[in-house]
Structure 1
């Protein structure tokens, strides 16, 4: 889910893009890897506000993932198609300037916090105290504010095991940052699994009552980054209900059934058909930009599965969270150029953000996002890739 993009155009000169593609190893034909020992490497990737930014490359012979310490961003995710060929399947920029210069309005691949999604009019009341947050998605608050977790530099610790490789990112958000109460200590750990998965473990503690709703905002195109529309991708969501929104994309408080509407993905359906319908909820978001209420499960359960018949790639999302925001890239408008040097247009990528519900602090019937001293915020999400023959 992203706000309309009012940032200046991110015009990338062709020569600069080609040079960067060579540097990051994305130019030319993708390579195939049958197996290998897990490894992690580090390189400098510029600086922001005097803080050095690093890029880590994690490989395990089947996946290759690049993560930035700026925003904890998944810059590239290379996974095999049915022929074993590795291709980057997530949207992003080739250099740090793309993320910083644009303000990263689409939140490509970033850790989102303190609160993922929208809060109505930037206001919530906790323990009798009303808090006023930045209005950065008029008239609402979005994704943690003007300078959320997606625009902060995180501290990184490589993790290498016998069969796994990972990266632990940590950051302390001081009391009052973006007007949120309490000092929040956050850890996000990315781990590559041997079965083509990216596991994300989120953990946070606070010294004062606050609200927390962390997620990752990766955009996916299983045909390959920069290859065009995801309209033909087939999506299944493990949810028979969703939270309808008003014209500003804030939940009304109702929990409606998906049956008989374009919101019904209880059986696999092509994204494009419903995304272009005249259903009022779709009109509000210019396409899909809604929270689904996941059917109950215990522990780590399946939230969604996406299949691209062309490449044979599949993506299964597993989570411990109660909600899933499906966003179909509605506000991509051709002004941003990605790692392939191609423009991103409407519907060129989709996001599946595991989460608690939008605007939960203002709806007593939604699962609580309150974290108190002594408590631990702990959630897990896995993006599991696969092959459909």
Structure 2
């Protein structure tokens, strides 16, 4: 195991940005930048032994600053949407940025993924990034000290651990927004790639992707991935949820909540590369790059619609407004700790 630090470039303000590459003995590599603690590359060997970069991304820090698609991003304080861009906590109303049809998406415009994080630990196979989010940051109460740790194991698992401690009650719901294409980031789309999701239900959402509060069975709908199927098999269905989301962009209610378990799988159509998603969180936003268009990415590749798939593990969207959704509130002095991992295989 080794970690190599290189210069990634500079921000628009001229701040230096570094890229950290972790490699294991199999030739699997991940590259993470201190700009946003962003996952820039995941390189695994395909069935022919050819290295494949299986996540979408950019070649320069400034492209990450300019972009709005969250490639590889750590999203916080609160991933996904908060309806009406406001919430009440302990009798006080907090107003957030309206950056998505009058709602708040991924905590507004002052995103964590365009900030320089401190690297506080470098081990043989592990990197820990730290960020302090001050009281009032993004509109949320309390100062929060956040750590995100990336680990690459010898069995080709990329593990992401989130730790945070607030000094006031606040909302915390962090995720990673990587887009995966297991045939290689340069491939046109993921429609022929297979996905399995261990979820019997999903949260119905309105036209603005805000959950209605209903938890709906996947049985007999295009939302049912319990037996596994190609992403493109029903993505053009006239089913209401598919039409409203322009494809898959929904929160699945994962089975066996409260445990660290395998919740999803993805298989490349050509590469032989497989991926398992593991998490201890109750929900997962499965998103199929429905709104990615003409996005110039790494190596000059133009990413388009359906060019990748996201598996954003999370608490349910807009949970602060839904009493029966597991709450995203972290109490003052308590520790927020969640783990999500992506385990890669080849056959």
Same fold (TM over 0.5): yes
**SS class of match (1:281):** helix
Partner of 2:10: 47
Select between 340-349 and 209-218 the one with higher mean Cα deviation. 340-349
Partner of 2:208: 248
Q: How far 1:114 moved relative to its partner?
A: 0.3
The yes-or-no answer on 1:58 pairing with 2:12 is no
Q: Is the 8 A contact 1:139 1:248 kept in 2?
A: no
Partner of 2:136: 176
Cα deviations across residues 127-154 of structure 1 (Å, max 9, x unaligned)? Answer: 1111110011122100111012111110
* CA RMSD between the two structures: 1.1
Q: CA separation in 1, counterparts of 2:56 and 2:341?
A: 18
Cα deviations across residues 319-372 of structure 1 (Å, max 9, x unaligned)? Answer: 0100010000000111x1111312111001110000000001000000010011
Q: CA separation in 2, counterparts of 1:139 and 1:344?
A: 28
The yes-or-no answer on 1:146 pairing with 2:109 is yes
Q: CA separation in 2, counterparts of 1:187 and 1:265?
A: 33
Give the TM-score taking structure 1 as reference length. 0.87
The yes-or-no answer on 1:342 pairing with 2:301 is yes
Cα deviations across residues 30-83 of structure 1 (Å, max 9, x unaligned)? Answer: xxxxxxxx1101122233335321111111133111111001111111011112
Q: How far 1:108 moved relative to its partner?
A: 0.3
The yes-or-no answer on 1:275 pairing with 2:238 is no
Q: CA separation in 1, counterparts of 2:300 and 2:192?
A: 23
Q: CA separation in 2, counterparts of 1:181 and 1:91?
A: 33
The yes-or-no answer on 1:93 pairing with 2:53 is no
The yes-or-no answer on 1:301 pairing with 2:261 is yes
Q: CA separation in 1, counterparts of 2:181 and 2:152?
A: 19
Give the TM-score taking structure 2 as reference length. 0.97
Q: CA separation in 1, counterparts of 2:267 and 2:336?
A: 32
Q: Aligned ranges for residues 78-89 of structure 1 at < 5 Å?
A: 78-89=43-54
Q: CA separation in 2, counterparts of 1:367 and 1:298?
A: 11
Q: Tell me, which stretches of 5 or more residues in structure 1 are unaligned?
A: 1-37
Q: Tell me, which stretches of 5 or more residues in structure 2 are unaligned?
A: none
The yes-or-no answer on 1:155 pairing with 2:110 is no
Moved over 6 A (4+): none
Higher strand share: 2
The yes-or-no answer on 1:266 pairing with 2:231 is no
